[in-house]
Chains A and B, each alone.
Chain A
């Protein structure tokens, strides 16, 4: 495997002392880590460790009470989802969050909504800029469709698709935005081995071809150890490990968190 020799550049995202609580429940406590450009960064941990909350903090759905987030050198306490999307952060969800009433094509086109500048009057008349933009964005979307090999289901309503394909469509919708950073929340959960292999291939291909930085939550340790450059381990909202897959594998705290400790 040569996956660990991928180009990874400067630090693109830095989280400092992030703490997030819902009332009395502490979801995240004093977490700091960074993500380098072009790398695949995995976040792992037992159930309820705060992994999804971490992603929600990064793309602005949750607002941490303490700590700062610096994205591309720009420091902020928190952000809203729109600003995160505008700055090039896209994500997929743990439970598929597709627009069920729409076709695959429309779902992916929605991913490009920030690129469309024409206003509603132009779109209602459907001439000039609105039509041109529709065409340009359709072209980009078709590239993504080709890339993820979902041409055959382009016009199918997403509700009719099997689970594995829905996950792929969700990845396509995120990719359509041409993100510089992609947050993947358990992209391989509930898949069989073949589907997992396909998904791994797509994740690596995206990373390779577009240089997209990835932050990935995954439970399948084989996958995590294979494809990620560096791993953060969370347990009960605290960071207990950080480093390359090999370093994390040998970390006693991580082993304890996963296997338990003798009392």
Chain B
């Protein structure tokens, strides 16, 4: 009833290729942004910021990175966490060794370093694909984490291999409170998500999707496979690298290479599977789902304990979480391989007709 696009005519092609071509979508998105930037900082508690919102946003950024590589370009990767680690440790070393380094520039440099490493580990994709490429990126995952832990220089010869992120300060303002950290992360993630969306709707994104869908045809119409794939690896790793730096500086504070283990890579892969492969929106939905699932489950368990006096042990709760997780992934793979983003789209299409049957 309210979601009608009738009467909204596009008079030029730029309007037609806008990110939100429908007016109601634009209004809805503006409200979400307003909520995120203004309302949430006013009402949220420090716990919500540091335990839910900040990791949700950072992992969403990493998921966008993986989605660029796997969702748009079709190259399966199990090394996302390793590229995050490169970003984190590179930023740390830039801050440590370059006097007067601005923190945002350090994040950027960390991302660029991760992009470089991503290109190197993307080279096998020119010859192998599918499962075999996944195994090659798995090698990246283990090698990079091992290397960061083994070579003392990366962690400034700290005896335990743990680094402590420097104080984040921009133009004299120190980001100490959870709310300020949240706003900084939100700003960075919003800008980078917009960049990803722009790439996806322009020539680079189309080339990636062409390589994903039919590489021979892509080659014949003039797309060079090698630069297209390596660019996907570079940009994907750049996003992962910045996310990794934010993970260290804005979320964990002190971090060791093991924090970026295969588990994290898998979690990010699950996010894009559940959220939706090949969509920027899906990265956020998947990340939200996975950030909120444990909380929802523990709330549910607490509710059950109170209402029907069911006693559930802590270890049972965490096992329950794993089981639900696994079950949901299988469910999504079978029922809706395109994830939550696809469900959202179907919902919108239904809404266009509602309350009429057709």
Contacts and interface: CB of A to CB of B under 8 A. Distances in A.
B329 interface: no
Contacts of B198: 123-126
A123 B199 contact: yes
15 contacts: A82-B219, A86-B222, A90-B221, A97-B214, A98-B213, A98-B217, A106-B206, A110-B206, A110-B218, A110-B221, A120-B235, A123-B204, A125-B198, A138-B16, A142-B13
A131 interface: yes
Residue picked from B196, B202, B209, most chain A C-beta under 10 Å: B202
Contacts of A131: 14
B14 A99 contact: no
Interface string B196-230: 10110011111101101110111111111000000
Interface residues of A, number: 40
Contacts of A236: none
Contact of B214 (A91, A98, A130): A98
Contacts of A61: 216, 219-220
A206 interface: no
Contacts of B13: 134-135, 138-139, 142
A190 interface: no
A113 B222 contact: yes
Given A110-B206, A139-B13, A177 B199 contact: no
Interface string A116-148: 101010011110001101110011001000000
A102 B206 contact: yes
A230 interface: no
Which are the 10 A-B pairs with shortest beta-carbon distances?
Answer: A85-B222, A97-B217, A99-B213, A124-B195, A123-B202, A126-B198, A138-B13, A114-B222, A81-B219, A116-B203
Contacts of B219: 61, 81-82
Contacts of B14: 131, 134-135
Interface of A: 59, 61, 81-82, 84-86, 90-91, 93, 97-102, 106, 109-111, 113-114, 116, 118, 120, 123-126, 130-131, 133-135, 138-139, 142, 173-174, 177
A130 B202 contact: yes
B221 A113 contact: yes
B17 interface: yes
Contact of B207 (A113, A124, A125): A113
A59 to B, nearest CB: 6
B21 to A, nearest CB: 10
Contacts of A174: 221
Contact of A134 (B17, B195, B220): B17
Residue picked from A99, A125, A138, most chain B C-beta under 10 Å: A99
Nearest to B234: A120
A123 B203 contact: yes
